[in-house]
Amino acid sequence: MTIGLTHYLVLATAVFLTGLSGVLVRRNSLIVLMSIELMLCAGNIVFAAFSRWLGDASGHVFVLMSFAVAAAEAAIGLAILVEIHRLRRSVNLDDLKTLTE
């Protein structure tokens, strides 16, 4: 079978759900952030695959936007994480439940 759209969609789904399970299971907030990056990457692959399918490069522009959002998210998220670590001496998500108590 030739490699087509479905193959790329299956790959992106698998990678996305791997990242989602990382967000749900891991308690280390750095690894949770990395899992979110993995999910964004899976979304980008879907954009590129449909761009190729439709023969229209607009999807590539949206992947560029997603790159910028991922970079902003990583910068802000890591800055907040460093600040939390200074205050609490921990990056474990189970220790950060002040708002629910």
Partner 1 sequence: MFESVCFYLCGGLMLLGGIMTVASRSAVASAVWLIFAFLNAAGVYALLSAPFLAILQVLVYAGAIMVLFLFVIMMLHGPVMNEDLRSRSRWFWPALALPLAAIAGSAVTLLGRARGGAFPAPAPHGFGRAEQVAALLLDRYLLAFELISIVLLVAIIGALSLGLREGRRT
Nearer to partner 1, 70 or 96 (CB): 70
List residues near partner 1 by CB under 8 A.
Answer: 1-11, 13-15, 17-22, 24-28, 30-31, 33-35, 37-38, 41, 44-45, 48-49, 51-53, 55, 57-58, 60-61, 63-65, 67-76, 78-83, 85-86, 89-92
- CB burial string 33-65: b at 16+ within 10 A, e below: bebbebbbbbbbbbbbbbbeeeeeeebeeebee
CB atoms within 10 A of CB 26: 16
Shortest Å, Cβ 35 to partner 1: 6
23: its two tokens: 């967000």
Structure tokens at 72: 């902003």
**What is the smallest separation between the CB atom of 67 and partner 1, expressed in angstroms?**
5
Nearer to partner 1, 60 or 99 (CB): 60
